[in-house]
Amino acid sequence: MYKRQLTGTPIAGELTTDAYNLYDADGKLCSIGYCYECYGIIVNKALLEQAGHSIDEIKDFESLKAVADDIHARAGELGFDAFSSAGLDGSSSWRFSGHLANMPLYYEFRDDGITAQPETIKGTYLDNFKMVWDLYTTDSATTGADLLTSTGDASEAEFGEGKAVFFQNGSWEYASLIGEKFNMDPANLQMIPIYCGVEGETDAGLCSGTENCWAVNCEADEEDIQATLDFMKWVVTSDEGTTMLAEEFGPCPFKSAKTPENVFFADAANLTNEGKYVVTWAFNFTPAVDDWRAGVVDALGQYTAGTGDWDAVVSAFVDGWATLYANEHA
């Protein structure tokens, strides 16, 4: 255990919630979540309206598919398609082996009351994962084997340049989309939940959580530890520090935190205020995460290219999880 206990430190005293913190086996605060993010389906509302649809139409998977199918069918006349490319190149595949894969994991864990890393998973909602993946890879200008080498930059450009209405990604995309590269109007951007056909999903909000935490090495020199603690407090209390956090990371759980301009965080807050449930980050429980995701991507790629079947994707999820968990705990 190399993390210094942070309870009672100045940085801990600045927190407004402990929802994003990590605790050791003894219940001691060892890591502070300093920001949180959200992801979902980013929508170009101007293009959506140009296609004759409204974002208010989309309430669940069925309505999302109906809108996307219509746009894709008329892509030639409209000059844009429904979804940006769901590329499986390494720069893009994490959006699906991590973020989209979170959907079946979240709902299974919610149903089964799982609050710690399980030894095995059942794949209860993998049919729902399949429905979304098939939609992404059908109602798009890029399909089939071409997706195996399609990049994250390509998907971003398709959306940013007005060639696609929908783009699965997160709050971190905001700066790029409204910046000099694409100069999109924030008023035309909105993030909606990833709908996957589960019961009651009209009450779903965005996927929100954090992988961004601060910890302090307890084996460092005391002078360095104190300097680190002083710097951490400065970052979350000073004008310069809080401005940087708001602009670069988004909302932060500290008393002096500034409100970010990112409209996607407003979307997340609005859904929560409406009583929608937050889809938490179940993928944080993944064993040997890089290996598990690589197996999922490989199987997903073969299925998408037509050289493999969906059963292999299910096996990568379920059997891959069990094998990697067993290896980690051998």
pTM (predicted TM-score)? 0.86
118 is a domain residue = yes
1 is a domain residue = no
In whole angstroms, what is the distance from residue 44 CA to residue 191 CA?
A: 9
pLDDT tens digits for range 142-163: 999 999 999 999 999 999 999 9
- The yes-or-no verdict on residue 3 having pLDDT over 90 is no
Judge if 106 and 185 occupy the same domain: yes
Judge if 69 and 142 occupy the same domain: yes
Judge if 133 and 57 occupy the same domain: yes
**Residues 6+ positions from 68 with CB-CB distance below 8 Å:** 82, 83, 135, 139, 165, 166
4 is a domain residue = no
Residue that is written with structure tokens 């940087």 in the block: 244
5 is a domain residue = no
Judge if 23 and 45 occupy the same domain: no
Residue 39's pLDDT is what?
97
Judge if 123 and 186 occupy the same domain: yes
Chain mean pLDDT for the chain = 94
The pLDDT confidence band at residue 177, using thresholds 50, 70 and 90, is: very high
The pLDDT confidence band at residue 249, using thresholds 50, 70 and 90, is: confident
In whole angstroms, what is the distance from residue 101 CA to residue 39 CA?
A: 13
Judge if 169 and 146 occupy the same domain: yes
- The yes-or-no verdict on residue 234 having pLDDT over 60 is yes
In whole angstroms, what is the distance from residue 205 CA to residue 61 CA?
A: 13
**Residues 6+ positions from 110 with CB-CB distance below 8 Å:** none
Helix axes 239-248, 222-237, angle to 10 degrees: 70
54 is a domain residue = yes
- The yes-or-no verdict on residue 1 having pLDDT over 60 is no
Judge if 309 and 190 occupy the same domain: yes
Judge if 319 and 218 occupy the same domain: no
Judge if 121 and 182 occupy the same domain: yes
In whole angstroms, what is the distance from residue 77 CA to residue 21 CA?
A: 50
Least confident window among 28-42, 46-60, 82-96: 28-42
- The yes-or-no verdict on residue 36 having pLDDT over 80 is yes
Can you tell me whether residue 7 is helix, strand or coil? coil
Least confident window among 167-176, 221-230, 249-258, 297-306: 249-258
Strands (E), 61-134: 81-83
26 is a domain residue = yes
Our count of domains for the chain comes to 2
The residue range of the domain holding 234 is: 10-36+209-269
pLDDT tens digits for range 98-151: 999 999 999 999 999 998 899 999 999 999 999 999 999 999 999 999 999 999
Judge if 32 and 43 occupy the same domain: no
3 is a domain residue = no
Residue 115's pLDDT is what?
84
Judge if 159 and 238 occupy the same domain: no
213 is a domain residue = yes
Among candidate residues 239, 269, 299, the one where a domain is terminated = 269
Residue 305's pLDDT is what?
97
Judge if 23 and 107 occupy the same domain: no
Read off the CATH number of the domain in which 90 is found.
3.40.190.10
Residue 311's pLDDT is what?
98
Among candidate residues 234, 269, 304, the one where a domain is terminated = 269
